[in-house]
Amino acid sequence: MFETTVEVIIICIKVGVAGMVLFSLPIPLTWVERKVAGHIQVRLGPFRVGPHGILQPVADMVKMLLKEDVIPTKADKWLFMLAPIMTMVPAFAVFVAIPVGDKFTLPFIGKDITLYMSDMNVAVVYILAVSGLSIYGIIFGGWASNSKYAVMGGLRSAAQMISYEVAMSFAAVGVVMLSNSLSLVEIVKSQSGGLFHWNFLYLPVGPVWFMIFFIAGLAEVNRIPFDLPEDEGSLAAGYHVEYSGMRFAFFMLAEYIAMVTISVLAVIFFLGGWDDPTGVIPLPPILWFVGKVAAFIYLFMWIRFTLPRYRYDQLMTIGWKILIPVSLVCVLVTGLMRI
Amino acid sequence: MEKVFFLIFAAVAVGSALAVVTLKNPVHSALALIACLLQVASVFVLLRSPFLAVVQVFIYVGAVMVLFLFVVMVLDIRQARMEAFPQKERWFVYAIVPVITVELLTVILGKGFPRLGPGSTEATTVEVLGKALFTEYLFPFEVVSVLLLAAMVGAIIMVKKRWD
Amino acid sequence: MIFGIKDVIAVLPEITVAGAASCLLLVDFLIPRERKSAVGVLAIIFVIFAAIFSIFLMGTDVMGTTVFAGMFAVDGFSTFFKYVVYAAAVLSIMLSFHYVKEEGINAGEYYILMLFSLSGMMVMASAKDLLTVYVGLELMSLPVYVLVGFMQGDVRSNEGAMKYVILGAFSSAILLYGISLIYGLTGSTGLHAVAAVLSSGSVNQGALNVAVIMMVAGFAFKIAGVPFHMWAPDAYEGAPTPITAFMSVGPKAAAFAVILRVFMEGLGPAYGKWQIMLAAVAVASLAYGNLTAIAQRNIKRMLAYSSIGHAGYALLGLVAGTSEGVSSVMYYMAVYALMNLGVFAVIIMMRKGGQRGTEIDEYAGLAKSHKGLALVMLIFLFALAGVPPTAGFVAKFYVFMALIHKGMVGLALFAVLMSAVAAYFYIRIVMLMYMREPVKEFELAHSRGIYYVLAIATAGTVILGVYPGFLIELAQKASLFP
């Protein structure tokens, strides 16, 4: 009984910590994103609030909180209010299955604490399934706004999501075939032992799977060059055009968390998770993990301010005519290699 | 503890299923259906089939319902609503639902349903499922793959404009 | 459990057909629009290969065993029904060559979907497990739904496909419900295991009743038995005529194969429960199908109702529940395939240019200018009506004998009465052809495919009527049921 209680308390602490971290993530991330944007476009970015504009996100947050919460008269009120939450909940729920490290031993007591909430034996499918649910917030938000731009944004994201989920799942299938497990912890363990054991370098299919996963991931989280659901050129702001204040902030929060999720998954699937690529540098595993994820997030931002947006038909062509056929061939090749 | 969870999931599932058929707006019905499917997935978890649960979420909630909504939104059914379901045909539904309910209740509450399998409390792992699919159930599995191919060809045929 | 070469050999015919369909999908790209018949010819060749493999299997030690963990049976029964569906597929494809050009629907997928459907029927014929039954059933039905709606520009084709697909999905759901209840009651989907548990008598009888009702309803839909026939007239009328021919024969035979096996083998111990339900469906089908057919002016609709009636006759053989009854159903299905395809061959021949050939009045005076064709039509219509010495008479005769031997004289009498009613609307067409003056010149579609079908169907109908012995013997040998 005592054991169970302790376990429950530990899980509650983990959930609390993860929740806090995720909730506060957008604060540094928005600042970084704007700074990166600034430097890529040869300007300074935010500079006024605090040194190097570091308090800018706090100012933004205050602004968001104080803004008037507008609900359009003809909107479907309940759905309109529900939609931002529906995007946010799955984004958080994904992290139940994501490990950030193996385990560490508490000093003095000698108790092992795992750095994940649950090592599900279906974690890969769970993550794909649950992260796919955040689409509903976008669709319902777009529909409930009762605005043509918002509906168009919702429709686009529905089509985009369905198209790229196939390629994304194929990439996950590839990883599962390479690592022989659906558990993320096992996937990371199967890659341990340095750079050349990583799935990314499982030649010749590893890099292909990685590219498929990365491109599909970009599309799944609606980042440039695939951010057609909120294409400001043709749709004003797409599905969240009618949102303001905290509800808008929720959408943004979900979007940032989704980006982090994709980065984390890419690291776990292809870059060995918390594995040390050289095997000689005495850094704690968690730092490796965070470092790799940070590099990925930077890559996302870099792409955002470098590439133009695709046209809608190009988006569909890339998904259906390139990624999916390539994935099918890759499944075949991987299967032959793993016999 | 498990029973409490089951009751919660089951109650929400039944409630949302009722909402699916009683709500007037098809988008609201779709939302209720999503809720219902999620509850069923939770019941699968209680039945120790995590794989079935996540696949239910993945396929039904993640893909099928998105397509449903896609169609509903493209068609703008707000005006159409219930006109397609004429009032005078409803007596059939009102008549048949209680009959089936009573019938099924007598069946379920009666005796004679054997306890299936070893009734273990261990979760069914993906390995076990995969082995079953590729040994005992290999033949239906392969037939299903042909079936899906045929369905795909058929779907493309139905929507493709062949003749001017 | 590892499967070996024996399992693969046992499903060689199925692999041939399904594989051919998949390969033809690719070949189809290389064939130009106006030469799509080549796909049909290739399809026929592959079906013939499958038929050869089926013969070859009869000589091997695979015969009489089950493979794939008891999911799939290779026995005389399944081989008999496979031959019926091979014939249905080959003859329907032959009927199509001309028709698809006339209607402008000559696409390669037309033949490919027929092959997919055929592979589903073959799986059904061999299914020894409710799971296999269900996936086979869906594999058979899905392509047919599409084929019914193949004429995109035609409103009736769309209507038929829509009704068929919605009611089909509904009936599949009901069937699945029944299957899941059976699984819940017996803990297995294998037919032998189900029978073993049922005969031990420890199952919940109320639940078993519900399960049997659900399964009867689900299967009755597939054979268009009353009261689950609502889709049939519209789907038959709307579908391209060769598809109407195909679906009135192939899926029906395959569905009967499944019904016979599931009810006799799996639910055999519950005979008392399903016998009365099937008898009710059979009587309702006989009465409703034959009486409504009288009022029809469209020949395809009339044949739809006639097909409902024929399903009723065939069901009676199962109601008898004896080995004799089973073999009479098998014989009935083989003969019905021949004579129905024959009638449809004539109808397709009448479809040319502005002449649709679907209204019964259009046949008036056919005998004046085309004596041969009218005679052939007369043979088929007499066979459908059950007039001796055609095969249709023999088929009905065996069903009635099976009933009488079981002591169900009342049912047999009712069926005979309904045959008399049926004779009216078949012979009405004969009267029209011979007694009336033609309204205008007949245009006929001349195609080698149709001629072959007419020749085969006529020969079969007459020869099986005069010398029914060998096919009956085959059916009796293949009928493995107690």
- For residue C64 the two structure tokens come to 């009489």
Q: What is the pLDDT of residue A235?
A: 73
Q: What is the pLDDT of residue A96?
A: 87
Q: What is the pLDDT of residue A143?
A: 83
Instruction: Break chain A into its structural domains and give their ranges.
Output: 67-338
* Contact criterion met (CB below 8 Å) for A127 and A97: yes
Whether residue B81 has pLDDT greater than 60: no
Choose among A136, A155, A165: nearest Cβ to B34: A136
* 3-state secondary structure (DSSP) of residue A221: coil
Rounded distance, CA A18 to CA A14, Å? 6
* Contact criterion met (CB below 8 Å) for C240 and C280: no
Domain limits for position B160 = 125-164
Alpha-carbon torsion angle C129, C131, C135, C137, nearest 10: 60
Whether residue C382 has pLDDT greater than 60: yes
Instruction: Spell out the residues 6+ positions from residue C145 whose beta carbon is closer than 8 angstroms to its own.
Output: B154, C161, C164, C165, C168
Which has more pLDDT, A177 or B110?
A177
Q: Do B138 and C69 touch (CB under 8 A)?
A: yes
Rounded distance, CA B134 to CA B131, Å? 5
Average pLDDT of the segment spanning A277-306: 86
Whether residue C459 has pLDDT greater than 50: yes
Rounded distance, CA C243 to CA C160, Å? 12
Query: Nearest CA of chain C to the CA of B25: how many Å?
Result: 22
Residues B115 and B134 in one domain: no
Residues B78 and B132 in one domain: no
Choose among B62, B66, B73: nearest Cβ to A129: B62
Average pLDDT of the segment spanning A36-52: 85
Residues of chain A in contact with residue B51, where contact means CB-CB under 8 angstroms, are 122, 125
Average pLDDT of the segment spanning C206-212: 85
Closest CA to C149 of B47, A198, B19, B157: B157
Residue A196 burial (10 A CB sphere; 0-12, 13-18, 19+): exposed
Q: What is the pLDDT of residue B151?
A: 93
Residues B7 and B87 in one domain: yes
Percent of chain A with pLDDT strictly greater than 90: 9
Rounded distance, CA C61 to CA A48, Å? 88
In this predicted complex, what is the ipTM? 0.90
Query: Nearest CA of chain B to the CA of C347: how many Å?
Result: 25
> Residue C74: enclosing H or E segment and its boundaries?
strand C72-74
Q: What is the pLDDT of residue A111?
A: 76
* Contact criterion met (CB below 8 Å) for B32 and B19: yes
Q: What is the pLDDT of residue B85?
A: 56
DSSP A41-106: TTS--S-SSSGGGTTHHHHHHHHHHHS-----TTS-HHHHHHHHHHHHHHHHHGGGS--S-SEEEP
Q: How confident is the model at residue B87 (pLDDT cuts 50, 70, 90)?
A: low
Whether residue B82 has pLDDT greater than 70: no
* Contact criterion met (CB below 8 Å) for C27 and C68: no
Percent of chain C with pLDDT strictly greater than 90: 51
Report chain A's mean pLDDT, rounded to a whole number: 85
Q: How confident is the model at residue C25 (pLDDT cuts 50, 70, 90)?
A: very high
Q: What is the pLDDT of residue B77?
A: 60
Average pLDDT of the segment spanning C207-235: 89
Q: What is the pLDDT of residue A219?
A: 87
Other Cβ atoms closer than 10 A to A308 = 7
Rounded distance, CA A39 to CA C136, Å? 62
Global pTM reads: 0.89
Q: How many domains does chain C have?
A: 1
Inform me whether the C-beta atom of residue A75 falls under 8 Å from chain B C-beta atoms: no
Q: How confident is the model at residue B86 (pLDDT cuts 50, 70, 90)?
A: low
Percent of chain C with pLDDT strictly greater than 70: 99
Q: Do A143 and B27 touch (CB under 8 A)?
A: yes
Q: Do C187 and B114 touch (CB under 8 A)?
A: yes
Last residue within a domain, chosen from B123, B139, B155: B123
Q: How confident is the model at residue B3 (pLDDT cuts 50, 70, 90)?
A: confident
Q: Which of B24, B28, B56, B58 to mutate to test the interface with A (most CBs of A within 10 A)?
A: B58
Residues B94 and B137 in one domain: no
Q: How confident is the model at residue B164 (pLDDT cuts 50, 70, 90)?
A: very low
Q: How many domains does chain B have?
A: 2
Residues B118 and B146 in one domain: no
What is the torsional sign of CA A155, A158, A164, A166? negative
Q: What is the pLDDT of residue B84?
A: 56
Give the least confident one: A69-73, C120-124, C374-378.
A69-73
Q: What is the pLDDT of residue B115?
A: 56
* Contact criterion met (CB below 8 Å) for C213 and C256: no
- For residue C266 the two structure tokens come to 């799996």
Rounded distance, CA B103 to CA B90, Å? 20
Domain limits for position C70 = 5-478
Give the least confident one: A108-117, C196-205, C209-218.
A108-117
DSSP B17-31: HHHHHH-SSHHHHHH
Whether residue B112 has pLDDT greater than 70: no
Question: CATH code at B10?
Answer: 1.20.120.1200
Give the least confident one: B119-128, C3-12, C214-223, C229-238.
B119-128
Phi, psi (5° rounding) for residue A154?
A: -60, -45
CA B51 → CA A33, A165, A238, C458, distances in Å? 38, 18, 35, 56
Which has more pLDDT, C145 or B126?
C145
Average pLDDT of the segment spanning C340-368: 87
Give the least confident one: B74-88, C64-78, C121-135.
B74-88
Which has more pLDDT, B98 or A334?
A334
